[in-house]
Amino acid sequence: MDPYQETFSTWNKVAQAYQDKFMTLDLYNGSYDALLSLLSGNARVLDAGCGPGNISRYLLQQRPLLQITGIDISPNMIALAAANNPPASFKVLDCRDIAQLQQTFDGIVCGFCIPYLSAEDCQRLFIDIASLLEEKGIYYLSFVAGETAGYQTGSTGDRVYFYHHPEKEITAALNTAGFITLQQFHIQYGNDIHTVMIAQKQ
């Protein structure tokens, strides 16, 4: 099976378990607050690869007037996100097709979306995201830095194909797409260090 299709199938299958594990995780709240400090109270925000809507929920709890749209490849994730965030709008869409969206945003969030995309698809995604952002728009992304890629198998035996992206390559790809990095966080999660970047469209 194509690595993308197997990964997408796994995410759809484990949607409820993912929600149970991560919905109330507060580890990244400081980075979300940093994002919010750069957005107006009623900003238009896209949550790309939204999962069960955990980031959207936190953002709305802090700023109830935010206009949030969420997309995810998994119908089960989208159903959960919509239930968790009644004020927001959610739809099933592959982030590789994000350019199909017929609107612009003040901020775009990709919380652990790019670990499931190849370097080439990340580069294209950044360009597409730049085209959807208003001038000086803000882009939030998180990933696990490194140089390896391969299948990871969960406790259920289901697999996802996971890409570790070198920070320098992500920074270079963002610059090529017209972004400048404003803030960067390194957050300990278990034995891993998670990287968060907040960038601005120039």
pLDDT digits (tens, 9 = 90+) for 132-151: 999 999 999 999 999 999 99
pLDDT for the residue numbered 1: 65
Helix (H) or strand (E) holding 80: helix 75-84
Please give the DSSP secondary-structure letter assigned to residue 86: T
Alpha carbon distance 47, 138 (integer Å): 12
pLDDT for the residue numbered 154: 86
Sign of the torsion angle spanned by Cα atoms 13, 18, 23, 29: negative
For the domain 3-201, what is the CATH superfamily, name and number? Vaccinia Virus protein VP39 (3.40.50.150)
Alpha carbon distance 92, 152 (integer Å): 24
Measured from the Cβ of residue 193, the count of other Cβ atoms closer than 10 Å reads: 13
Q: Residue 17 carries which side chain, given as an amino acid letter?
A: A
- C-alpha distance from residue 19 to each of 55, 80, 147, 156, 163 (Å): 11, 8, 28, 16, 22
Report percent pLDDT > 70 for the chain: 100
Please list the pLDDT of the chain residue by residue as tens digits (202 residues). Answer: 689 999 999 999 999 999 999 999 999 999 999 999 999 999 999 999 999 999 999 999 999 999 999 999 999 999 999 999 999 999 999 999 999 999 999 999 999 999 999 999 999 999 999 999 999 999 999 999 999 999 999 888 999 999 999 999 999 999 999 999 999 999 999 999 999 999 999 9
pLDDT for the residue numbered 156: 84
Question: Would you say how long the chain is, in residues?
Answer: 202
